[in-house]
Structure 1
């Protein structure tokens, strides 16, 4: 019986392997046929498409979550050059760590390249996401939200909320307990952003939303496999639960007749427009998508700033001195800190810029080639993805002296 089971296992495995090999070979053949034979020196960059179906996605993701996220790119850049081919997130991809090549692509019009997002990202965002809609509706949403985020009312609210949440958080700290900076900054940033989006205050509902959002965001960089048990599936289920929370808030706002009031958050702004295109589903989906910086990029940036400053006492001293001087001036005048105060601190702005350079919270941008394109002798085939990887450029010694050294003074004008 065991021998029969063993042979069945071997037989099934062999058939499965053959099927995978045939499908993969057919896929590679199709890819090869889609690449024209150039009459000139223009050629597909060196590189590898990796394993069947998954390509090099698993290795890319594992490196992204390591202490050296640039290792995936650095290894291939040294092996193949600054521009190379790969296969990530289910798509054959040309990866560029060359600033000149990336600049040409990003400045191209829609006839050559259009925005592209990994399958896992588009699945999570949905068809009504501001990333996927276009035309007049996209311009309307961009305009409404952009104007609100620039409004004096919101700047005042965020400045006040940030100070309150930071103070409340620090009041809970104890000398005999370790402080996990990223967890603390994540908690503060998420609460500030969620309040600006949907006016939800700290409490049980906020904690529920935060818990679901932590599951949701794990799917942004995952294999595009939507089956029960997969990360993408779990993230989609978490989003459904979050949508219910936001829908309840939207319904409450509609019933309260807020259209005659001054908008307090982004939902108020979109509801006040009274457009039939701005459905409750569209508003709810986009509110969740816009929470991402509060859970991911902003907390990471704040944590890195503290880490870099801890490793550079001179910068920490200068930053403290500049901020304490402002605090004394405001105290003497009996005035509260306001948004514009922070913009008036030159060294603080340099610290932020240097943290952005080294932290690279936005690692790159993807585009899809609409036709065969040649740049600097490299062929980017029609239908392929182009990945402009910023991190390698920001840490390139050809662009910055001592690129791995935290040096805010490099931005001094």
Structure 2
């Protein structure tokens, strides 16, 4: 008769320690992996982060986007956001807005280096939401070669003859607006100033839109500008989606005007006509319809005042206006210095 074998005590004891050994092995593996990753990428990351200026990344995912939008809605605009961080970090600082790291520079030398070095060392482009609103062919969002081409074709807008013509246009529209004011009528000067500015820009760029078209275009342009710093959510009723719809309406209107110009059915001596026609003195060639559309919209927006909330603050500092108010007779009594810093009664 064979005696029974003893119970496998040692084997049971060993199997009890298997989970513990696996846990220890996993911890050691993680530590070794981290050490190897640090050795491989640590120096490269250290080199790249050393080049970043000081600043804050804000909260996870959203960064400092909420602070930026809140400042942009205040009386000082986004300058409040910039000035606060400039005092804290200096003339050059980083932040995180709309999910991307942005670097702000506020010195003249740095701005000259960024704007004048022709894409050396980095690519000039706006955040994605602005590119969607202005267009991929906009001067602010174009690639290097396209940017050079656009600059050469659009430089005629800023020659002395064009600037002199622009001054005359503003002068005529301002005089027309002043003549429309009636005695005893309440006038919102800023609204009239916006209307004058918008119509002057449109007259210089494309002197073919009628009054009804200009009114609709002005509404759509303001929808686009309001959406430029909004969250890029394409939700029903969101500001960004309204801006995209307004852009589509603007593009459709410009497309019709460009078609009439190219077919010779309409001709005006304005900036749009110079973009549509072939230039015999250059080998650049003409611009495409999309390039013209995107950059006409860009120029209209660039010419409009962007910090409208500043007006109430400016008026609140003028105690004389607050005390006596203004009408046409009072305006005629005042003498404004060349710098606009002194107001004297005659």
TM-score by length of 2: 0.67
Preserved CA contact (<8 Å) 1:191 1:201: no
Deviations 1:272-325 (A, max 9, x none): 12776522222122111111134334x959969985995799xx99x9577xxx
Partner of 1:225: 233
What's the CA shift for 1:114? 2.8
- 1:76 and 1:306, CA in 2 relative to 1: closer, same or farther beyond 3 A? closer
1:146 pairs with 2:132: no
Partner of 1:208: 216
Larger radius of gyration: 2
Q: 1: distance between equivalents of 2:44 and 2:236?
A: 36
Give the gaps of 5 or more residues in structure 2: 1-40, 322-330
Matches within 5 A, 1:271-310: 271-273=276-278, 278-297=287-306
1:242 pairs with 2:247: no
Q: 1: distance between equivalents of 2:127 and 2:83?
A: 22
Matches within 5 A, 1:40-189: 42=50, 44-69=52-77, 70-97=79-106, 110-135=119-144, 137-150=146-159, 152=161, 154-155=162-163, 157-174=165-182, 176-189=184-197
Preserved CA contact (<8 Å) 1:137 1:277: no
Preserved CA contact (<8 Å) 2:56 2:94: yes
Give the gaps of 5 or more residues in structure 1: 1-31, 323-347, 352-405, 408-413
Higher relative contact order (CA 8 A, sep 6+): 1
Q: 1: distance between equivalents of 2:82 and 2:278?
A: 45
- Number of residue-to-residue matches in the alignment: 287
Q: 2: distance between equivalents of 1:215 and 1:198?
A: 20
Q: 1: distance between equivalents of 2:153 and 2:51?
A: 45
Partner of 1:267: 272
Preserved CA contact (<8 Å) 1:185 1:303: no
Deviations 1:335-372 (A, max 9, x none): xxxxxxxxxxxxx4x56xxxxxxxxxxxxxxxxxxxxx
What's the CA shift for 1:211? 1.2
TM-score by length of 1: 0.58
